[in-house]
C-alpha cells in the first residue's frame, strides 16, 4: 500500500507479491553490479594476462573486508528506518534518515583513509607473490581512494530500500554499470592504462551512482527526503543504528578476515591458482544473486512488519523467502557443477587456471542451498532486532573454524583441496545452528507478540 511519494508499506497486502516485487529489481541491480565487476576481470584477463588477473582477483578479499564493515552500518540504518516506517512514526523516520547520512559521511572518510593505509600491509600479510604485488597495490590504492562514494551510495540505497523502493536503486545501478563497462574498454583497451584503468573506471561509476541517489533523496516529497541542513547525529537514532549496524559490520568483517587468510593460503599455490579461483569467485557471485536479492527484500519486509507488530506476516514471509532461495540456489548449483570448465575458461584459456577454478566449483556448488539458508536466516534475525545472533554464528563457523583449520590442518596437509572444502563444511555447520535458533525465535515471537 502506498504510504507517500517514495514509501511503500509492506505491512498489508499479499506478502509473496511484495517480497518478489521488491526482490526482482534488487536481483537485476545486483546482476548488473556483478556484471561490471566481472567485466573488470574479463578485460584484465584477456588484455593484460594471468598475472594482472591474479592481481585484481586477489584484491577481492580486502575490498570485501572494508566495504563489508561499512555496509554493516548502512544495513543497520536501513533496518531502523524500515522499523520506524512500519510503525508509521514520521518524526523518527526523518531523524534516522539524517543520522544515517551523517554516519555515512564519517564512515566514507574512515574507509578511504583505512583502505589506502592498510592495503600494502594486508597484501604482504596475505603473502601476495611479487609478480602480482605491484599491480594489486596500484589497483587498491585507486579503488580505496574513491571509496567515499561507495559508502555514501550504500547508505542512500539502504534508505530507499527501507522505504520499499528497490526500483530507483536499480535504475541508477544500471546506468553506472554501463558507464563502468564503457570506461573499462576506454581505459584498458584504448588508453592501455593497465589495472589502474580498471580501478578508475570502477570508482568513477560508483561516484555517478552516488550522485544519482543523492539527487533522488534531495527532491523526493516524503519522510525519507534528505535536507542537507538537517544532517546531524540524533542520540536515540544513532544508538539504534549502531546497535543494529555494528554486529552486522562485525559479522561481515570477521567472515572476510577468514577469507583473507584462506586467500593467503591460496596465494601460496601461485598465480595460476589465484587466477583460477578468482575467476570462479566471479562466476559464483552471479550464482548468489538470488540470495542477495531475497535477503535484502526479507530484511525490509521483516523490519517493517516487526515495527508494526505483524508477527503473523513475519513468519509467513520468512518461510516463503527461505523456500524460494533454497530451491533456486540449488538448481543454480547443479548448473554450475556441470558448466564450470566453460565458465572459468571465459576468463583465461590457460588449462591450469581452468583446472583450479573447476576444482573449487565441483566441491562447493552442490552445497549452495546451505549457504542460501544461512544468509536468509541472518537477514530475518536482523529484521527481528536480533543482529548479534547471526554475528556469533558466522564468527564461529565462517571465521574461527576456517582460520583454525588453515593454521592447523593446512600446515601439515598443504593441498588446495582444503581451501575448497572449508566453505561447504562451514556452511553445513552454520545451517544446523540457524535451523534451531531461527525456528525457536519465530515461534517465540508469534506466541508472545513481543517487539524488542
pLDDT one-digit tens code per residue, 308-317? 999 999 999 9
Residue 99: the pLDDT is 97
10 lies in some domain: no
**Predicted pLDDT of residue 392:** 93
* 440, HSE (Cβ side, Cα atoms, 13 Å): 8
The answer to whether 161 and 301 are in contact (CB under 8 A) is: no
Please indicate, yes or no, if residue 9 is contained in any of the structural domains: no
- Contact indicator for 1, 12 with CB cutoff of 8 Å: yes
What are the tens digits of pLDDT across the range 247-289? 988 887 777 778 778 888 888 888 899 889 988 988 898 899 8
C-alpha cell recorded at residue 132: 602480482
d(CA 277, CA 430): 23
Does the CA dihedral 318-321-327-333 come out positive or negative? negative
Q: Worst-scoring range by mean pLDDT, 45-59, 146-160, 382-396, 419-433?
A: 45-59
Q: How many CB atoms lie within 10 A of CB 229?
A: 7
Mean pLDDT of 332-349: 93
- Higher pLDDT: 450 or 246? It is 246
What digits encode the pLDDT tens for the residues 128-146?
A: 888 888 888 998 999 999 9
The DSSP line for 114-128 is HHHHHHHHHHHHTT-
- Kindly tell me if the per-residue pLDDT of 393 is higher than 90: yes
Q: Please indicate, yes or no, if residue 5 is contained in any of the structural domains.
A: no
In a domain, 4, yes or no: no
Residue 164 lies in a domain: yes
| 251 found inside a domain | yes
- For cell 578511504, the residue is 112
Q: What is the pLDDT of residue 251?
A: 81
Does 337 map to a domain?
yes
**Range from 51-55, 189-193, 263-267, 350-354 that averages highest in pLDDT:** 350-354
pLDDT cut 90: percent of the chain above it: 56
- Give the pLDDT mean for 206-229: 94
Q: Is residue 6 part of a domain?
A: no
What is the predicted pLDDT for the residue at 347?
84
> According to DSSP H, which parts of 384-415 are helical?
388-394, 401-412
Predicted confidence at residue 102, as pLDDT, reads: 96
* CB contact at 8 A, 397 and 430: yes
Number of domains the chain contains: 1
Are 198 and 44 contacting, i.e. CB atoms less than 8 angstroms apart?
yes
pLDDT number for residue 73: 85
- Mean pLDDT check: name the lowest of 7-21, 38-52, 416-430: 38-52
Among 37-46, 104-113, 116-125, top mean pLDDT goes to 104-113
State mean pLDDT over 172-189. 89
How would residue 5 be classed by pLDDT, with cut points 50, 70 and 90? low
Strand ranges in 321-427 using DSSP code E only, listed in sequence order: none
Over 90: is that where the pLDDT of 184 sits?
no
Q: How far apart are CA 65 and CA 340, in angstroms?
A: 27
Cα–Cα distance for residue pair 296/300, rounded to 1 Å:
6
> What CA–CA distance (Å, rounded) separates 164 from 158?
10
Give residue-wise pLDDT tens across range 31-53.
877 776 667 677 777 777 777 77
Give the cell for residue 105. 559521511
pLDDT, mean of residues 94-111: 95
- Residue 448 has a pLDDT of 57
| Other residues' Cβ atoms within 10 Å of the Cβ of residue 211 | 15
pLDDT at 6: 58
Predicted confidence (pLDDT) at residue 3 exceeds the cutoff of 60: no
The whole domain housing 20 covers 15-448
Mean pLDDT estimate for the chain: 88
Amino acid at each position: 500500500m502506498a504510504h507517500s511519494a517514495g514509501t511503500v508499506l509492506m505491512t498489508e497486502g499479499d506478502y509473496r507479491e511484495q517480497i518478489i516485487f521488491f526482490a526482482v529489481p534488487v536481483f537485476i541491480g545486483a546482476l548488473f553490479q556483478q556484471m561490471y565487476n566481472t567485466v573488470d576481470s574479463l578485460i584484465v584477463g584477456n588484455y593484460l594476462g594471468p598475472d594482472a588477473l591474479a592481481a585484481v582477483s586477489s584484491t577481492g578479499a580486502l575490498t570485501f573486508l572494508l566495504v563489508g564493515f561499512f555496509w554493516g552500518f548502512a544495513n543497520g540504518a536501513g533496518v531502523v528506518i524500515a522499523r520506524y516506517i512500519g510503525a508509521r512514526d514520521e518524526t523518527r523516520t526523518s531523524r534516522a534518515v539524517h543520522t544515517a547520512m551523517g554516519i555515512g559521511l564519517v564512515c566514507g572518510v574512515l574507509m578511504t583513509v583505512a583502505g589506502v593505509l592498510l592495503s600494502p600491509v594486508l597484501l604482504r600479510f596475505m603473502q601476495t607473490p611479487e609478480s602480482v604485488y605491484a599491480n594489486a597495490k596500484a589497483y587498491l590504492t585507486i579503488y580505496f581512494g574513491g571509496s567515499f562514494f561507495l559508502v555514501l551510495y550504500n547508505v542512500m540505497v539502504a534508505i530507499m530500500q527501507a522505504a520499499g523502493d528497490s526500483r530507483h536503486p536499480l535504475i541508477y545501478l544500471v546506468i553506472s554499470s554501463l558507464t563502468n563497462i564503457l570506461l573499462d574498454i576506454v581505459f584498458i583497451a584504448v588508453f592501455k592504462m593497465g589495472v589502474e584503468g580498471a580501478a578508475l573506471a570502477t570508482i568513477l561509476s560508483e561516484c555517478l551512482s552516488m550522485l544519482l541517489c543523492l539527487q533522488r533523496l534531495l527532491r523526493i516529497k516524503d519522510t525519507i527526503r534528505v535536507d542537507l541542513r538537517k544532517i546531524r547525529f540524533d542520540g536515540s537514532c544513532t544508538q539504534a543504528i549502531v546497535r543494529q549496524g555494528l554486529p552486522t559490520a562485525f559479522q561481515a568483517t570477521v567472515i572476510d578476515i577468514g577469507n583473507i587468510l584462506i586467500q593467503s593460503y591460496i596465494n601460496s599455490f601461485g598465480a595460476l591458482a589465484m587466477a583460477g579461483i578468482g575467476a570462479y569467485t566471479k562466476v559464483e557471485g552471479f550464482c548468489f544473486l538470488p540470495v542477495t536479492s531475497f535477503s535484502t527484500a526479507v530484511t525490509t519486509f521483516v523490519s517493517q512488519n516487526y515495527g508494526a507488530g505483524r508477527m503473523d506476516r513475519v513468519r509467513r514471509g520468512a518461510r516463503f523467502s527461505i523456500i524460494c532461495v533454497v530451491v533456486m540456489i540449488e538448481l543454480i548449483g547443479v548448473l554450475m557443477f556441470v558448466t564450470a570448465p566453460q565458465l572459468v575458461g571465459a576468463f583465461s584459456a590457460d588449462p591450469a587456471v581452468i583446472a583450479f577454478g573447476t576444482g573449487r566449483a565441483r566441491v562447493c556448488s552442490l552445497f549452495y542451498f546451505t549457504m542460501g539458508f544461512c544468509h536468509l536466516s541472518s537477514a530475518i534475525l536482523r529484521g527481528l532486532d536480533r543482529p548479534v545472533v547471526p554475528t556469533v554464528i558466522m564468527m564461529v563457523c565462517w571465521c574461527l573454524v576456517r582460520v583454525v583449520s588453515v593454521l592447523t590442518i593446512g600446515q601439515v596437509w598443504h593441498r588446495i583441496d582444503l581451501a575448497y572444502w572449508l566453505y561447504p563444511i562451514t556452511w553445513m555447520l552454520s545451517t544446523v545452528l540457524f535451523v534451531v535458533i531461527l525456528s525457536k525465535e519465530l515461534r517465540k515471537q508469534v506466541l508472545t507478540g513481543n517487539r524488542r
